[in-house]
Structure 1
Amino acid sequence: MRLKYLLILLVSIIALLFAGCNDDDVVPEETDPDTDTSFSIPTYDDDYSSIASWSYRSQWNLANVHDPSVAYYDGYYYMYGTDASYGNEAAGHGHFQGKRSTDLVNWKWVGGPFYDPPSWVADSLNAIRSRMGLDAIAEDNISYGYWAPVVRKVTVGGQEKLRMYYSIVIDNFIKTGAVNTSANFDGSWTERAFIGMCESTDPAGAVWEDKGFVTCSSSDRGLDYSRSSYTGDWSAYFYYNAIDPTYIVTPEGDHYLIHGSWHSGFALLQVDPASGKPLNTLGEPYASSVSELTARYGVRIGTRSASSRWQGSEAPEIIYKDGYYYLFMAYDGLDIPYNTRVVRSTNIEGPYLDITGRNFTNGRGDCYPIVTHPYKFNLSYGWVGLSHCSVFKKEDSDDWFYMSQGRLPENVGGNAYSNAIMMGHVRRIVWCPASPDEPDNLWPIALPERYAAVPDYGTITKDSLVGTWEHINLKYSFGQQDVATTLNLNADGSMTGALTGNWSYDVTNKQLKLGDVIVCVEREVDWEASPRCVTFVYAGTQKSLNTTYWGKMKK
């Protein structure tokens, strides 16, 4: 009787969890229901416009997320991001608001570090303007933007705390100090951005201590801040744009801040571990040459195009793993075409090379692999604007995760503003071989479906992969979603549909070989199914492919 009861219970639980799933092999028969009772698939709607208002913030979960950064502290993953929300509903309620989670699936809102602009920003701005021979801008007339913080756990004086570097952008013209509008255009570029720093031992209570100025946008053109036209002039006064910081502690214990967006590329600035401030005196944020400027404001470690002052890469994020510094970055505009690339180096200063050996430090063109890109599976509108990532390791594990916002495409459901819907996406990273001949040359790719903490249901067998898949050739196509086509993995080892030839599977390493491309296989939730259910997914690339393969088993 006990055996019969257990079998009935097993079948009932699987039926509830996988209603709408047709593949019996997704969950092996040996699944133990006693380890599965706490698992539930997220049911929230990706179109959160009905609960976007501030009064619903306790229900947001991952709604209203933009440029996230994640760090683990005191039992929680804390996430903070740019001041952005659908309909600007969060405006006036503090800056760099956050969320926290214990499982990376369910997130609760937490307050940010401050409500008013730090006083040091106006003081620093006007002190620089005074030395440039410019009039001060009245504090009430300064136009502030609050962008892209990075948060890390550090130990200072034996005490663990969260350290946040944040960006504050000043959107007034340099020459007259007028607010940036076409009617006010005065023939100059807009003012500089600043990076500040704050720390907390009580992020849950939103208690932060502001530490003030760290660095600011800097120019190699001295006092020549002129601009030929309000639009169409991409020559950029600033060499380094002081936004989008990322922060790393090397294995040797050195601390570095990397920042930059568009303009001329990414700067590497060493900071003091205790204070978090630059090790060396920066001096004036303008110089007469690149060499004079970079000697003080940091060496350039990467640029998409060495000849351009407006080169379409931003949002650096850096991690260290197995002897390499992996530098992730966003390409292109954030509304639709945003996509993510990664390069790596054995030295923090570079050179940073892509999977083919292209030198990103020297600006040798577009780099690969593609980590994320606008995409669309069947039965859904898909996602765009998918970049500006945080990359972090799950506590007490070697599992790496990618988090960014995803935007809905334009005019979804008749909503003219649907592209302003920004849902936080958490994805597992898989580390895939660059080619079949280089099994240990591993590169990080984000999985095509979002993380839902699917339990380990045991071995993924070759037989369980036989069937129909939705395959996406995740290639660079500016402003376009890559769409899914049908791929059949046949029992005789052949492929038909999106790919042809033969396939094989390495069960030990969970590596599926599709022709000469190796992809990594995992279980995740099929977010496009109705109801959502667990399925198999894959992600991978090949070093000469200039594209990434994404796929999920069709239900």
Structure 2
Amino acid sequence: MAIKRAFAVAVFALASAGASAQTAPVGLASGTLNARLNGDLTPVHDPVIIREGDIYHVFSTGLGPGSQGLIASRTSRDLVQWEKGTPPFERLPDWAVKAVPGAKNIWAPDIAYVNGRYRLYYAVSTFGSNRSAIGLATSPTLDPTAPGYGWRDEGLVVLSTPVDDYNAIDPAFFADKSGRHWLSLGSFWTGLKLFELDPRTGKPLKPSAKPRALASRPVPAGAPSIVEAPYIFAHGGYYWLLASYDYCCKGVNSTYYTVVARSKTVEGPYRGKDGSSMLAGGGTILLRADLQEKQRFRGPGHPGHFRDADGTDYVVYHAYDRENKGVPTLRIAPLRWGADGWPVAEGQ
């Protein structure tokens, strides 16, 4: 939610100052992708990944110096060795400054290639508030050396205010098999929501329509629903919903973890392997909570899905490194699909 994002910006900017971004994770199963990740891996919070040509791009919440503190960018040729990329923004868009007074950086971007342009959805908010906005920027390419490169800000997509029961952050785009476009979003308040988009503009198809509910967790009256960061993708005749439960942004004390559920329709209901509904706090754990805190990387969450050209599915996420001052660190795990049709994250 807005509280935890602002907290992350303050705490992890300090944590990363003394961290070595060139140290590869150790102590994992030999040969796993996460064990081999190297290069500029920190601080990474709320990552998403896409491939253009032979270059992989990761975008994440703005944590870092200069324009990396708006939206951070990293690139790789092999998913293993990562280096800083060219951030898409030099300053907050004027409309966002007016819509969300006091906003300083950009949170939880999402990236997709649609109709010949890359769509970068992003969130702007402030500490403790659901006065939040999701914006959209587009570019014909991600390569800053290519002709035509340049991010065009398309303005506001969704705005939430204190009169709304949701928080307009953590956007994620999805196009279903029938060609309908969707944007999932949400953090705390009453849970995760879904808007249908106009495929031409990338903005709500019916601006006055109320969003559909995707997920919520039962809580005492007046308390927030502790769920955020939805991400929908398709596999094996189902739509799959990823989401994060509990609290991030507490470094090694984070209790964040990731669940997965599936549905035959994009709008749900999404259910875990045991039949539990995401509308009632259900789902199946995909990335471990590790509440007893015996492992190096803790609080794995804010997942994004990526399918490579060879058909391999990956989940990209952040976790907090106990051996590196609790700094949020880039993590990528292949998804192995079991005989029961459910995914397992390898080498998480």
Deviation, 1:204, is: 2.5
Deviations 1:268-316, CA, capped at 9 Å, x for gaps: 101111211111123xxxxxxxxxxxxx231112112276651111111
| Pairing 1:430–2:327 present | no
Identify if the C-alpha distance between structure 1 residues 374 and 111 changes in structure 2 by more than 3 Å, giving closer, same or farther.
farther
CA RMSD of aligned residues (A): 2.6
Matched position secondary structure for 1:385: strand
Identify if the C-alpha distance between structure 1 residues 201 and 326 changes in structure 2 by more than 3 Å, giving closer, same or farther.
same
Are 2:50 and 2:111, in contact at CA under 8 Å, matched by a contact in 1?
yes
Identify if the C-alpha distance between structure 1 residues 447 and 298 changes in structure 2 by more than 3 Å, giving closer, same or farther.
same
Match among 83, 89, 94 for residue 108 of structure 1: 83
Identify if the C-alpha distance between structure 1 residues 108 and 298 changes in structure 2 by more than 3 Å, giving closer, same or farther.
same
Taking the aligned partners of 1:164 and 1:321, their CA distance within structure 2 comes to: 23
Deviation, 1:217, is: 1.5
Q: How does 1:177-192 map to 2 (within 5 A)?
A: 190=129, 192=131
Q: Return 5+ residue gaps in structure 1 as ranges.
A: 1-46, 54-58, 126-136, 172-188, 222-237, 283-295, 434-440, 450-555
**TM-score under structure 2 length normalisation:** 0.81
Are 1:167 and 1:242, in contact at CA under 8 Å, matched by a contact in 2?
yes
Give the corresponding residue for 2:299. 385
The amino acid of 2:317's aligned partner reads S
Give the corresponding residue for 1:202. 141
Give the corresponding residue for 2:126. 170
Match among 284, 288, 303 for residue 216 of structure 2: 303
The amino acid of 1:372's aligned partner reads R
Match among 297, 320, 335 for residue 234 of structure 2: 320
Matched position secondary structure for 1:389: strand
| Pairing 1:446–2:318 present | no
Deviations 1:311-370, CA, capped at 9 Å, x for gaps: 111111110112111000111111321111001100111111111111213x2x343233
Deviations 1:105-127, CA, capped at 9 Å, x for gaps: 122211222121111123445xx
Are 2:120 and 2:137, in contact at CA under 8 Å, matched by a contact in 1?
yes
**TM-score under structure 1 length normalisation:** 0.52
The amino acid of 2:321's aligned partner reads L
Deviations 1:28-70, CA, capped at 9 Å, x for gaps: xxxxxxxxxxxxxxxxxxx9945459xxxxx943232111011
Give the corresponding residue for 1:275. 201
Taking the aligned partners of 1:191 and 1:257, their CA distance within structure 2 comes to: 18
Give the corresponding residue for 1:213. 156
Taking the aligned partners of 1:69 and 1:192, their CA distance within structure 2 comes to: 24
The amino acid of 2:114's aligned partner reads V
**How many residues in Structure 1 have an aligned counterpart in Structure 2?**
309
Higher-Rg member (1/2) = 1
Paired-residue identity, %: 27
Deviation, 1:143, is: 3.5
Are 1:65 and 1:81, in contact at CA under 8 Å, matched by a contact in 2?
yes
The amino acid of 1:196's aligned partner reads G
Q: How does 1:147-546 map to 2 (within 5 A)?
A: 147-155=107-115, 160-171=116-127, 190=129, 192-205=131-144, 207-218=150-161, 221=163, 238-282=164-208, 296-305=209-218, 309-334=223-248, 335=250, 336-361=254-279, 363=280, 365-374=281-290, 382-395=296-309, 397-409=310-322, 412=323, 418-419=325-326, 421-433=327-339, 441-449=340-348
Deviations 1:459-478, CA, capped at 9 Å, x for gaps: xxxxxxxxxxxxxxxxxxxx
Taking the aligned partners of 2:123 and 2:66, their CA distance within structure 1 comes to: 17
Whose relative contact order is higher, 1 or 2, with alpha carbons under 8 Å and at least 6 apart?
2
Deviation, 1:92, is: 5.3
Identify if the C-alpha distance between structure 1 residues 392 and 328 changes in structure 2 by more than 3 Å, giving closer, same or farther.
same
